[in-house]
């Protein structure tokens, strides 16, 4: 089967959001969206059958880990292109304006996707048309194997919402009760015609980007790497930067 993109350590976010998603809503996840599929009501046996490429899978084994979809359960799929779910979600929200469904579109992506042009375009489009979209960034501070603070000047990603004229908030993505409360506010704004919201849910990564890459939080104590003039030391409790001279 090869490697798969795991969602270990971010379960609290879909668990907190599950009760907010109505029958008319649409959820667009990343290629690690298995937990979102479960939160939307996809039967576990059908989900795992899909991960194993079996005919009993939700897509008959043809979607696999990174492309499974279940529209009947409000889960409009994963996407192996980073950030590609954002513009699709904007389109779903626009369609809801014309079909009278009252649909709110939820699009989920990681911190690395915040630098994708398609995500910026989707946010601008949704803000300009006042569309009911909830942009949810699951931020574990690592974009693949690169710390987010080495990629952007301001790692407080929710502040980018100001540029689009929409609300932005950073929340604790490890607490499902907090997620439900704060994400619920974003859904309410969308349903009442207030337009899109950007929510940055900080979470702790418990696995690597895929099952074949090293974990940023479960790496052996001896694993270190140099990043410019810094050294990153990782242990079972996490990774931290240590000052070091450039060599």
Instruction: Output the tens digit of pLDDT for each of the chain's 247 residues.
Output: 567 878 788 899 999 999 999 999 999 999 989 999 999 999 999 999 999 999 999 999 999 888 899 999 999 988 889 999 999 999 999 999 999 999 999 999 999 899 999 999 999 999 999 999 999 999 988 777 788 888 888 889 999 999 999 999 999 999 999 999 999 999 999 999 999 999 999 987 655 555 555 554 443 333 333 333 333 333 444 444 444 333 3
> In the chain, which residues fall in CATH 3.40.50.970?
12-202
> What is the reported pTM?
0.81
pLDDT attached to residue 233: 39
Q: 98 CB contacts (<8 Å, ≥6 apart)?
A: none
Output the CA torsion sign for 17, 12, 209, 138. positive
pLDDT attached to residue 228: 35
pLDDT attached to residue 42: 95
pLDDT attached to residue 70: 95
What homologous superfamily is domain 12-202 in, according to CATH? Thiamin diphosphate (ThDP)-binding fold, Pyr/PP domains (3.40.50.970)
Contacts 24+ apart (CB under 8 A), 171-175: 171/199, 171/200, 171/201, 171/202, 172/201, 172/202, 173/10, 173/12, 173/13, 173/138, 173/139, 173/201, 173/202, 173/203, 174/12, 174/202, 174/203, 174/204, 175/12, 175/16
**What would the 3-class secondary structure string for 173-220 be?**
CCCHHHHHHHHHHHHHHHHCCCCCEEEEEECCCCCCCCCCCCCCCCCC
162: region left, alpha or beta (phi > 0 left; psi from -120 to 50 alpha): alpha
**CA neighbor of 210 nearest in space, from 37, 48, 7:** 7
pLDDT attached to residue 205: 62
pLDDT attached to residue 207: 58
């Amino acid at each position: 089967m090869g490697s798969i993109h795991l969602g270990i350590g971010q379960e609290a976010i879909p668990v907190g959001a599950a009760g907010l998603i109505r029958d008319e809503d649409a959820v667009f996840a990343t290629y690690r969206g298995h937990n979102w599929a479960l939160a939307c009501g996809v039967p576990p046996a059908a989900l795992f059958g899909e991960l194993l490429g079996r005919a009993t899978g939700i897509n008959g084994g043809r979607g696999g880990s990174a492309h499974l979809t279940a529209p009947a359960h409000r889960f409009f799929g994963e996407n192996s292109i980073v950030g590609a779910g954002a513009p699709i979600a904007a389109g779903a929200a626009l369609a809801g304006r014309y079909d009278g469904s009252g649909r709110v579109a939820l699009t989920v992506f990681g911190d690395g996707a915040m630098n994708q042009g398609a995500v910026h375009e989707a946010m601008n489009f949704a803000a300009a048309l006042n569309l009911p979209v909830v942009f949810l960034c699951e931020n574990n501070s690592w974009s693949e194997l690169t710390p987010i603070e080495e990629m952007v000047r301001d790692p407080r990603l929710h502040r980018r919402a100001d540029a689009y004229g929409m609300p932005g908030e950073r929340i604790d993505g490890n607490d499902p009760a907090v997620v439900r409360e704060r994400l619920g506010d974003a859904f309410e704004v969308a349903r009442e015609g207030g337009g899109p919201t950007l929510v940055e849910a900080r979470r702790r990564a418990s696995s690597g980007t895929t099952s074949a890459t090293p974990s940023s939080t479960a790496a052996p104590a001896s694993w270190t790497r140099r990043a410019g003039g810094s050294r990153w030391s990782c242990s079972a409790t996490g990774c931290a930067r240590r000052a070091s001279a450039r060599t």
